[in-house]
Amino acid sequence: MRIVFMGTPDFAVPCLEALIRENFDVAGVFSQPDKPRGRGHKASPTPVKELALRHGIPVCQPEKLRDGQALSILRELAPELIVVVAYGRILPREILELPKHGCVNVHASLLPKLRGAAPIQWSVINGDRETGVTTMFMAEGLDAGDMILSLKTDISPDEKAGELFLRLAPLGAKALVKTIRLIQSGQAARVKQDESLATYAPMITKELANLDFTKEPEALCNLIRGLNPAPMAFTRLDGKVLKVAAAKPAPGFCGKPGEILDEKRLIIGSGSGAIELLSVRPEGKKPMTGEEFLRGKRLAAGQMFTRDSHYRD
């Protein structure tokens, strides 16, 4: 089966690696245009592009998909199937309808839950205890196509979004290979999604990362886990930003939202209780424990952390 692969970030790499390892005929790869990165702002290839070039697979990086150029290239490549994994672009109808076997997407949630751009982060933010990956035949709606198969995995209570990314990426590759084998044999299911169960996972914003200590401890700790490693939750003390990488509820403590409640452990009033900030990064400094931060700042109980709606990284 002749395949065109569309993907951009690290999450998509194991899926392309699996196609190469299983000797599928990958005729070409589409990836987002190179973007400036690092201090020198030099254009760097996407992770998917790097892998494709190492294996001699031609790469296309169109700025747009609706101007006819991408469609013309795809017609020349003549794929029987298009595989899409975290590509970052919406495919127009003429591309969706081009391949004989359609377009298949690997989505990092148990659809119809968490459709959208950031399902992994939101599964952690929401405090879910289970997630997984779903393969589906793509349609014009947002992640609304017919499902083929799902693979499930538990989310541990202290698991961060970055750690879940690392586990779901190879699970997605496993699901993709199974899915293509089913399509090849004519046994791929088409399961309609129950629209009444659909939920959404919108893009993560910096405003979401701006800690609101009026929220209950568990919800705030889930948010901090879900925003690690990026964009990382933050708060502000004495006019300076403090990024927060890890926290846990602090039973037995209660105070005003944002109030420092202990002089030895970095315990902060949150909702009707409190949380302990376990790992933080002060502005312009390296990561440290909450206790190290307290010793360095010599803070006293009663001082306040604040939200900052005008924060810019």
Domains, the chain, in order of start with CATH, read 2-197 (3.40.50.170), 206-297 (3.10.25.10)
Listed in sequence order, the residues at least 6 apart from 245 whose beta carbon sits closer than 8 Å to its beta carbon are 224, 228, 229, 232, 233, 278, 279, 280, 281, 287
Higher pLDDT, 45 or 313: 45
**pLDDT value at 41 more than 80:** no
Gap between the Cα atoms of 229 and 113, Å rounded: 23
Gap between the Cα atoms of 32 and 205, Å rounded: 21
Q: Within 10 Å of residue 82's Cβ, how many Cβ atoms?
A: 25
**pLDDT value at 312 more than 60:** no
Yes or no: say if 61 and 33 are a contact pair by the CB < 8 Å rule.
Answer: yes
Band of pLDDT at residue 236, cut at 50, 70 and 90 = very high
**pLDDT value at 313 more than 50:** no
Band of pLDDT at residue 175, cut at 50, 70 and 90 = very high
What per-residue confidence (pLDDT) applies to 9? 97
What per-residue confidence (pLDDT) applies to 40? 67
46-96 per-position pLDDT tens digit: 999 999 999 999 999 999 999 999 999 999 999 999 999 999 999 999 999
Percent of the chain residues past pLDDT 90, beyond the cut = 89
Residue 66: burial class (beta carbons within 10 Å; 0-12, 13-18, 19+): middle
What per-residue confidence (pLDDT) applies to 187? 97
- Structure-token pair, residue 207: 């405003």
**pLDDT value at 269 more than 60:** yes
Band of pLDDT at residue 298, cut at 50, 70 and 90 = confident
Yes or no: say if 194 and 112 are a contact pair by the CB < 8 Å rule.
Answer: yes
195-207 per-position pLDDT tens digit: 999 999 999 999 9
What per-residue confidence (pLDDT) applies to 144? 94
What per-residue confidence (pLDDT) applies to 307? 83
Handedness of CA 215, 219, 221, 225 (dihedral sign): negative
Instruction: Give, for 29, the enclosing helix (H) or strand (E).
Output: strand 25-30
What per-residue confidence (pLDDT) applies to 87? 97
Yes or no: say if 300 and 291 are a contact pair by the CB < 8 Å rule.
Answer: no
pTM as predicted: 0.94
What per-residue confidence (pLDDT) applies to 74? 98
